[in-house]
Amino acid sequence: MRLRRASCLTCYWHEGEFVVHPYPGGTPTALHPAAAEVLAAFDDWVEPAKAAESLDHLTPDTVAEAVQALHEAGALLAEGSDEADRDEKVARRWQTWAPEASFFHYATQDVPYADLERAGGNRQGEADTTPVDTAVSAVDGPSHSMFTEYPDADRVLLPRRPADLRVPYEQVLYARRTHRDFTDDPVPLPTLATLLSTVFGPVDYIDSGRSALFRRTSPAGGSRQELDAYVGILNVTGVDPGMYHYNLREHSLELLSPGLGRDEVVRLGAGQDWIGGVAFLVVLTAVIDRMSSKYHTPRCYRVSLLDAGHLGQTFALTATALGLGPAQTGAFCDTPIAERLGLDNIGHTPLYVLAAGTPHPDPKWAPPRATLDTFRATTLR
């Protein structure tokens, strides 16, 4: 039987052990690091005995044992097998997204609900000493701080009288568009204050069974509220340009570093020119421990990304209702943004950049309508 190394395979050291982790569905298996050399001999379909010839510094028994373990783990695939067929299909379909995106996607699939709180993905040969607790709401893990605050920072206490949000739902939903053209009119402070409190402020507090959690206008996995809002001010009445943190408990903007220019915003926004025209940015950042202290499985990193999407949508709808033009970008320079915000980019890291400004009546970046010719050039089915 000829074997080949799986194309969808990630190897790493974890807690001192060398692990081969094929995906999708393969078993992460701790092996001797010589397994990497054995895998290297299976670049293409080959009989194990033939492959062993290039591994003549290892004993035949060692090679045979390693081949068996790698085959059982799914890191070596048999020619003509369903697993080999699937491996080829996954590798072809995910192409340039592999291995980073495909590995994360598949390695975090199919986690049973009851396992959400146990130690993430026990590898073969590792003992699981973490108790499984299916009563999700009863265990919060080690205590973590619910709020991020900068007690020593200078701050702007924000007005509490809400700007008018009473726009019909249907009108808001269909009026929402991503804006990339803005006027130079500053955004009034009460408008920004209403947007921040509506999207990021606490709505109420609940008892998780062990500690208090708060809820927002957006749903959030486990109500962990691991996402913080950092605000880059360019053109808002009564607030100097600079980088701030939105203190949601106090409803204030805490000054982290003064000054912010349009050129810098373009650089932080991965060189997108339009972003230099916004009145303010909101960087959503994840406090990893707030989520991982309860949910140990790496799958819950997905939940943080989903949480960011929910907040992004609530931001866009609320900004629209307030008469602002919202925008969002997945393209941004993570490390410079983290540095500019004074975040360590380890336990506290940027995930998503939202922005808004006064919408331009005659936008030049708005996409043109699709015409008959556009549809002619499109594969519709």
User: Which residues of the shown chain bind ligand FMN in the complex (CB under 6 A)?
Assistant: 177-178, 272, 328-331
Cβ(243)–Cβ(252) below 8 Å: no
Judged by CB, which is closer to ligand FMN: 223, or 272?
A: 272
DSSP sequence for 15-44? TTEEEEEESSSPPPEEE-THHHHHHHTTSS
The nearest distance, CB 317 to ligand FMN, in angstroms, is 11
Q: Smallest distance, Å, CB 115 to ligand FMN?
A: 28
What is the rounded CA–CA span in Å between residue 230 and residue 233? 10
Residue 286 · residue 227 · CB < 8 Å? yes
Between 94 and 352, CB nearer to ligand FMN: 352
Smallest separation, CB 373 to ligand FMN (Å): 20
**What are the Cα distances from residue 40, in Å, to 5, 60, 62, 76, 216?**
8, 16, 15, 11, 51
State how beta strands 280-287 and 348-357 pair.
Answer: antiparallel
DSSP secondary structure of 302-338 = HHHHHHHHHHHHHHHHHHHHTT-EEEEES---HHHHH
For the bound state, the minimum distance from the C-beta of residue 331 to ligand FMN, rounded and expressed in Å, comes to 4
Contact residues for 167 (Cβ-Cβ < 8 A; gap 6+): 320, 321
Could you tell me the two tokens for 114?
């009851």
CA distance 329 to 337: 13
> Which runs of consecutive H residues, i.e. helices, occur in 201-284?
262-268
Q: Please, what is the minimum distance in Å from the beta carbon of residue 266 to ligand FMN?
A: 12
Nearer residue to ligand FMN within complex by CB, 87 or 226: 226
Q: How far is the CB of 16 from ligand FMN (least distance, A)?
A: 38
Q: Which is nearer to ligand FMN, 144 or 177 (CB)?
A: 177
Q: 191 vs 329, which CB is nearer to ligand FMN?
A: 329
CB of 209 to ligand FMN, least distance (A): 33
Smallest gap from Cβ 180 to ligand FMN, in A, equals 6
Task: Provide, rounded to whole angstroms, the least separation between the CB of residue 353 and ligand FMN.
Answer: 8
Q: Which is nearer to ligand FMN, 111 or 324 (CB)?
A: 324
Q: Which is nearer to ligand FMN, 124 or 178 (CB)?
A: 178
| CA nearest to 297, candidates 101, 113, 121, 114 | 121
**Cβ neighbour number for residue 105 with a 10 Å cutoff:** 16
Query: CA 348 to CA 278: how far, in whole Å?
Result: 25
Q: What is the CA radius of gyration of the chain?
A: 26
Answer whether 19's CB lies under 8 Å from 11's CB. Answer: yes
Least distance in angstroms from the C-beta of 272 to ligand FMN: 6
Q: Which is nearer to ligand FMN, 165 or 366 (CB)?
A: 366
Give 114 or 331: the residue with its C-beta nearer to ligand FMN: 331
Specify the residue for token string 């020619």: 79
Our measurement of the distance from residue 255's CA atom to the centroid of its chain's CA atoms, rounded to an integer in Å, reads 26
Nearest residue (CB) to ligand FMN, 39 versus 275: 275
- Give the SS3 label for residue 283: strand
